[in-house]
Structure 1
Amino acid sequence: MTVTTRRMLDLTVHEHTLTVPLVWGDDADARTIDIFAAVVTREGGEDLPYLVFLQGGPGSEAPRPFHDPASPSWLDAALEHYRVVMLDQRGTGRSTPVGDDDLQRPAASVAEYITHLRADSIVRDCEAVREELGAETWSVLGQSFGGFTTLTYLSSAPSSIEHAYFTGGVSAVGRHPDDAYALTYDKVKDASLAYYRRFPEHRDAFRRLAERADAGAITLPSGEVVSVSRLRSLGMLLGTNEGWQTLWSLLERDPATNAFRYDLEAALPFSGRNPLYYVFHESCYADGVVTNWSAERMLPEEFRADVTLLTGEHVRREWADTVPALQPWREVVDILAAHEWPRLYDEATLLESEARGAAAVYANDIYVPMEYSLQTLTLLPGVTPFISSENEHNGLRSGTVLPHLIDLAHGRRVR
């Protein structure tokens, strides 16, 4: 492991780079990757226990403590109790990132490589970092996909986790991805209708935009000709605390202007910056099954009939043909859609894990439905649910959620 130390204001950041096997376990071969973790400490906190943060995604690196606008909102609270380990999950950030350059290899080779980047492998990386830091145990904070990974951690190495904190829901266990996507369509339909009740004129505004998209009349600065399905994916904005404001601003703009085209490009999800988010997104729901473009197959008939019903975190196969940044990944995504993914969770181990912690479950979450989160938490009776309608899926950024979870996990009264 190599270590570099940086200091800014009252923070010290020890940057660790560790070389680990690409393939963990009995099937390991000679291939290796680098794993990057930044250990953030506040002055006077050098002897505090460790808390490893697992970012949402999949396919996103951890926030950077010195300049990332998302980090100060919860990092300050975390640093009162912990040294915080910002782990770049394999394939992201400085952990041997996956990008377009990888496509110089055959698609089958790239797809095989990506199968080793899921939560089960991330957990093994976490264990390697924990052991390198000399920590017998540590706590884990998982946001969204990071919480899915935390659940995998509790299924395979529960004795390593002192407290488990989930924000943005908990993955369904023992359910097919089809079930998850069917329920999230219901959730985003409700969010769409609630938005139109608040701004009724915007339903017609969106219908007009969809007509322009259907005619091929919306072209982004990147050259993408926006399809109707891409336009409808703006529904993802309704799953964050502030996202509705971005949608409102877009629907108020003249679609013929530069401002609209640039703002639309910035607002659309599944960009080329983090290709993994699109390329193997559905794998995070695949607990021993083949996904076969689950979200696309589960599109309800009422969505087919009503173009104003927006969609959420639902990837579409057609984007590999219509989105320039995703087109190079066409063969890879088709291979992965047909891949039979291994199991991620073990119900018996979860029940026996004696896991302690707390989980923020958002009543209106369109990304990770509350119903499945609460079902899974019955397997973790020592993890206290914190159910709230105050925040959307990104509530961790509010700065108030993590202090509540820490208090709950330690048996302190929460007002």
Structure 2
Amino acid sequence: MISPNSPTRPFCHWEDTSAIPTQRKVQEFTSRRGFWVGSKVQLSPKMQEHHLDRSDVESFTVPGARVFDRYFDLPLAYDSNAQEQKIKVFCRHLVPINKVNEMKRLPFLVYLQGGPGFSCAFPKISGWIKVAFDNGYQVLLLDQRGTGLSSAISPDSLAHLSDQGKADYLKCFRADSIVRDCESIRKLLTWDRSEEHESRISLLGQSFGGFCITTYLSLFPKSVKAAYITGGVPPLVSTPDKVYEKTFARILKRNNVYYGKYPADVQRVQIIIKYLNKNEVKLPNGGFLSSRRFLQLGLAFGGSGGYDTVHEIVLHAAQDLELLGKLSYSTLNSVQAQQGFDTNVIYAILHEAIYCQGKASNWSAERVRLSSQYREDFDWSGNTRVNFTGETIHPFMFDDYSELVPLKGAADILANYENWGPLYDVETLKSNTVPVAGVSYFDDMYVDLDLSIETANTIQGFQPWITNEFAHNGLREDPERVFGYLIKLAQGDHGTNR
């Protein structure tokens, strides 16, 4: 494996590049110490070391685990014959503190984060990680390509490219590429395991991580031992239109709940919106707080405590206008801190593309908002009750968010791009043999329940759990019970989840 600071070394190819090497091929290649990366075998710069034995990998201890920070140089585009351009992919490797000597034998559980465009948090050995350890796993926390420590995408990192160049680069950061990264890492870390030790991986995916799992089951089902999805059973669609038609309906219901809880906010929000429509308001980081951006605070309605968070901002903003005639720095900073599009630009620029297969999104959410069905409900004039929006992406964001402005041209190119590759293989999913269990939340604002049920019914052997106990973040609210019960479901145990 090439380390981040090593010069590029030659690749060696097997005659059958689509298969994991047989024991005979492994034995023939042992003297040269090659490692599988994607469909190729890459010579290690540490000619005598397995990657898990690498002495140049930084490691440290947290209570209950030894942690290894691992970097992998992987192809930017897996469909390229040359695969010469590389990106760095970071994976935090957690091993139970008393099982460090068993790394080459313990099965791996890979955690796929929500998003798209978010990295993994620094780990604590509790919650679902504790459940994973208790079930005999070592854990890999993947910073999905373009996030965190994995060649993170930002306006600065793309500044040297034209709009078309940025768009072409960003096309390589969807679920299909993320999954191929995982498969490359799996092959690398388990390439010389004997048959008695598991070389397949198990997968845990939150939200968008569940989209990635479904892609994994489509592309590499033989590489997966078991899969667990929390709040992220994806719709098997080709464009986002159907998704957003249902999304706006759920957002309206959330607005009814919000204004039912805080009826005085109807007038407060109208006052705030009219002020923002008349005044150019600059945020601390240089972005602009337009009325339409302010209403994106409704994204919080899908999580625990979201209504209260938005109410506090509305209350302070209304008081600012009454006492100061303008919005205070404190209020502006609160709005900016609540919105993550500046720090996670993939979340904005590829959000609609995660649904596209062979068709363009054409700014789907904006088209649905302006349709006869929703135009009046999402009027931003402030003359009637103003409804907040939710997890929807709009062209104006590339004018209002400071970090999105340099990506405006690329975003428009991607919105009109039609040749997106497939993300799912329905026939493969229909014949699935991998144990799969997933929880879908009855009141989930971000992932439509009906579409999730359709997909669950398509994946053979899928064990569903539908509950209204959580919003979208059940894995965060009660991780031990949620993950523990999914493990039971995948094993065919339909007993109590208490």
Residue 40 of structure 1 corresponds to which residue in structure 2? 94
Q: Which residue does 1:83 correspond to in 2?
A: 138
After superposition, the C-alpha distances for 1:375-415 in whole angstroms (9 at most, x for unaligned) are 00011232211111111112210123222212222233224
What residue in structure 2 maps to residue 262 of structure 1? 333
SS at match of 2:89: strand
Paired residue for 2:164?
A: 108
Answer yes or no: is 1:303 the counterpart of 2:384: no
Superposed counterparts of 1:10-409, under 5 Å: 10-25=64-79, 27-46=81-100, 47=102, 48-65=106-123, 72-81=126-135, 82-101=137-156, 102-134=158-190, 136-216=199-279, 218-253=281-316, 254-255=319-320, 256-270=327-341, 272-299=342-369, 300-305=374-379, 308-340=386-418, 341-398=420-477, 399=479, 400-409=481-490
Q: Is the 8 A contact 2:237 2:356 kept in 1?
A: no
- What amino acid is the match of 2:496? V
C-alpha contact (below 8 Å) 1:174/1:287 kept by paired residues: yes
Give the drift of 1:27.
Answer: 4.1
- SS state at 1:303 partner: coil
What letter is aligned with 1:327? V
Higher relative contact order (CA 8 A, sep 6+): 1
Task: List per-residue Cα deviations over 1:339-374 (Å, max 9, x = no partner).
Answer: 121111111011112231211101111111111000
Shift of 1:26: 5.0
Q: Distance in 1 between matches of 2:82 and 2:297?
A: 41
Amino acid across the alignment from 1:348 = E
**Structure number with larger C-alpha Rg:** 2
Shift of 1:9: 2.3
TM-score, normalised with respect to structure 1? 0.94
Aligned partners of 2:378 and 2:386 also within 8 Å: no
Name the CA distance, whole Å, in 1 between partners of 2:307 and 2:340.
14
* CA separation of 1:110 and 1:164: change in aligned 2, threshold 3 A: same
CA deviation after TM superposition for structure 1 residue 217, in Å: 5.5
Aligned partners of 1:267 and 1:225: how far apart in 2? 14
Q: Which runs of 5+ in 2 are unaligned?
A: 4-56, 191-197, 321-326
Cα distance in 2 between the residues matched to 1:379 and 1:163: 17
Provide Cα deviations, 1:15-65, integer angstroms capped at 9, x if missing partner: 221111111135443211121111112223555421101111111112221
Counterpart contact for 2:113–2:209, Cα < 8 Å? yes
2:162 aligned partner, one-letter code = P
1:230–1:268 CA contact under 8 A, matched in 2: no
What is the CA–CA distance in structure 1 between the aligned matches of 2:216 and 2:488, rounded to whole Å?
22
CA contact (8 A) 1:289 1:342 kept: no
Q: Percent same amino acid among aligned pairs?
A: 34
| Whole-angstrom distance in 1 between the partners of 2:131 and 2:330 | 37
Letter in 2 for 1:393: H
Aligned-partner SS, 1:301: coil
The equivalent residue for 2:59 is: 5
In 2, Cα distance between the equivalents of 1:195 and 1:208? 17
Contact 1:231 1:268 in 2 (8 A): no
| Residue identity in the other structure for 1:302 | E
- Higher helix fraction: Structure 1 or Structure 2? 1
Please give the alpha-carbon distance, in whole angstroms, between the structure 1 residues aligned to 2:289 and 2:385.
14
| 2:377 alignment partner, SS class | helix
TM-score of the two chains, using structure 2 as the length reference: 0.79
Counterpart secondary structure, 1:221: coil
CA distance, structure 1, for counterparts of residue 82 and residue 233 of structure 2? 30
Structure 1, residues 181-201: CA drift from partner, whole Å, max 9, x if none?
110110111011011112211
SS in 1 for 2:394: coil
CA contact (8 A) 2:431 2:460 kept: no
- Output the CA distance in 1 between the equivalents of 2:240 and 2:95: 39
**Does the residue aligned with 1:87 lie in a helix, a strand or coil?**
strand
Offset at 1:120? 0.6
Decide which moves more: 214-223 or 144-153. Answer: 214-223
Preserved CA contact (<8 Å) 2:237 2:355: no
Counterpart amino acid of 1:158? P
Measured after TM superposition, the shift of residue 267 of structure 1 is: 1.2
Compare 289-298 and 199-208 and name the one that shifted more: 199-208
Structure 2 counterpart of 1:264, one-letter code = V
| Whole-angstrom CA distance in 1 between matches of 2:69 and 2:340 | 30
Question: C-alpha distance in 2, partners of 1:80/1:216?
Answer: 56
Give secondary structure in 2 for the equivalent of 1:223: coil
Contact 1:21/1:28 (<8 A) preserved: no
Q: How many residues align?
A: 410
RMSD over aligned CA atoms reads 1.8
Look up the equivalent residue of 2:226 and give its one-letter code: H
SS in 2 for 1:378: helix
Is the 8 Å Cα contact of residues 123 and 152 (structure 1) preserved in structure 2? yes
Contact residue 168 and residue 360 of structure 1 kept, 8 A: yes
**1:134-163 residue CA offsets vs partner (Å, 9 max, x unmatched):** 052111111111111111111111111111
Deviation at 1:75, TM superposition (A): 2.5
Q: 1:171-214 deviations in whole A, cap 9, x for unaligned?
A: 11135310001101101110110111122112222222211221
CA offset at residue 266 of structure 1? 0.9
SS of 1:53's equivalent in the other structure is: strand
1:43 and 1:182, CA in 2 relative to 1: closer, same or farther beyond 3 A? same
Contact 1:288-1:342 within 8 A present in 2 as well: yes
Is the contact made by 1:232 and 1:311 (CA closer than 8 Å) also made in structure 2?
A: yes
